[in-house]
Chains A and B, each alone.
Chain A
Amino acid sequence: MSKPIVATTSLAGCFGCHMSILDIDEKILDLIELVEFNKSPIDDIKTFTKKCDIGLIEGGCCNSENIHVLKDFRKNCKILVSVGECAIMGGLPALRNGIPIKECLDEAYINGPSVQHNPKGIIPNDDELPMLLDRVYPCHEIVKIDYYLPGCPPRAELIWNALVALVTGDELKLPYEVVKFD
């Protein structure tokens, strides 16, 4: 039987959750025995080349490109897992949710103390650039998400346990120490 196929992506996240996947240390050797990777920053495959079994989503949705990628994942993966606080509730990017989008852009490109040179007060706006959304959305408010792994980042052990449980069909082990929100 062929190995289950895993795809991963980072939407509005910091790649910390992907770092946490790598944090399984030498078990990464077991991981490549257990599953095959498709579209993922880990193997640098940019587009889906086949249907996948498991999609790991890091980060919430803050722009139109995030929505596009997330919907693409839903279309190509049988099971989607929200990995980390940002995917589950928006996380730190969602701190902007109470602030109007115009104020955010003004602060970033015109008024902010780190703005060096923008005499014409230009705010980037091009068809090539993804549009910012009115607020940051948790992934499960955009598409159906099957499982959730909380943490910032989720402990490597939690991601590993969840992957093994999904692949083998065994019950997921959830020791108290591995389910944390920070």
Chain B
Amino acid sequence: MSTLVKFKIDGVECMAERGTYIVEAARENGIYIPTLCNIRGVKPRGSCRICTVLVNSRPMSACTTPVTDGMEIINDTPEINDTRKSIIEVLFVEGNHFCPSCEKSGNCELQALAYRFQMMVPRFPYIFPNKTVDASNPKIIKDHNRCILCKRCIRAIKTDDGKNVFAFKKRGMKLEIIIDPELGDNFTDELAQKAVEICPVGAILPREKGYQIPIGKRKYDQVVIGSDIEKK
């Protein structure tokens, strides 16, 4: 028996393996659903809600909802895209995102999504929260000003024996990422590099490196985020 299911995204007939999350199923069918906290191959978390779609007219996060037979998904409408844009704007005002001086600028997924949705100015007032920079680790620098608390590093960075290196500390507006002191001090170069790459913003940075790719040649300088999926 075939395990393929049929469903529709914005009226387009699509097919995917039963149990595939909507984001992945859409990708296989050449449709881009914007994501931020999601990482391919790691259990989804659904914390940022940028992938919100209407599933049979109810808003659901596309990264955590599996496709089922006959599902009607609405993805690309002005209303949904404005909701996504407003989430990005919230993330911009909640942190201290100084793009002009950020090492990650041009390779930053938050910024790339803002470009995609043509954010000219956030509709919310800036908070300018008091956040710190933690440079105590020998391999990486943590800048809490830029952290969007997507939990990517917590979910994806694990030691060989499966221990989490990153964790959350405190709650609410004070919530921040911490590194396990012991595991963090014994960071392998590989794992540190992975942590830097997995961070969608410039909150986890490598030491003694920065601004290595010139403006114009960075990941999102010329190419819209998601266009690699849409081309297929």
User: Which residues of A approach B to under 8 Å, CB–CB?
Assistant: 82, 85, 88-92, 94-95, 97-98, 135, 138, 140-141, 147-150, 152, 174, 176-177, 179-182
CB pair B128 A135 closer than 8 Å = yes
A149 touches B120 (CB 8 A): yes
Interface residues of B in 124-173 (CB under 8 A from A): 125-126, 128-131
Using known A-B contacts A148-B121, A177-B222, A182-B106, determine if residue A138 contacts B126 with beta carbons closer than 8 Å.
yes
Q: A150 to chain B: which residues have CB within 8 Å?
A: 119-121
Q: Are B125 and A92 within 8 A (Cβ)?
A: no
Chain B residues at the A interface, C-beta cutoff of 8 Å: 92, 96, 98-102, 105-106, 111, 114-115, 118-122, 125-126, 128-131, 215, 221-222, 224
A92-B130 contact, Cβ under 8 Å, with A140-B121, A150-B120, A179-B118: no
Q: Are A181 and B111 in contact (CB under 8 A)?
A: yes
Known contacts A88-B121, A150-B120; is-contact A94 B115 (Cβ 8 Å): no
| A-B contacts, CB under 8 A, total | 67
**Nearest B residue (CB) for A87:** B121
A to B CB contacts below 8 Å, 20 in the list = A85-B99, A85-B100, A88-B120, A88-B121, A89-B92, A90-B128, A92-B100, A95-B101, A97-B96, A98-B128, A98-B131, A135-B128, A138-B126, A141-B125, A141-B126, A147-B120, A148-B120, A150-B121, A177-B221, A182-B106
Residues of A close to B114: CB separation below 8 A: 181
Contact of A174 with B115 in the complex, beta carbons under 8 Å: no
Contact A82 B222 (CB under 8 A): no
Give the nearest-CB partner of B224 in chain A: A176
Of A82, A89, A95, A141, chain B has the most CB atoms within 10 Å of the CB of: A89
* Other contacts beyond A140-B121, A141-B126: 5, CB < 8 A: A88-B121, A89-B126, A94-B128, A98-B96, A150-B119
Q: What separation, in Å, do the CA atoms of A141 and B93 have in the docked complex? A: 13
What is the CB-to-nearest-CB distance from B182 to chain A, in angstroms, rounded to a whole number? 30
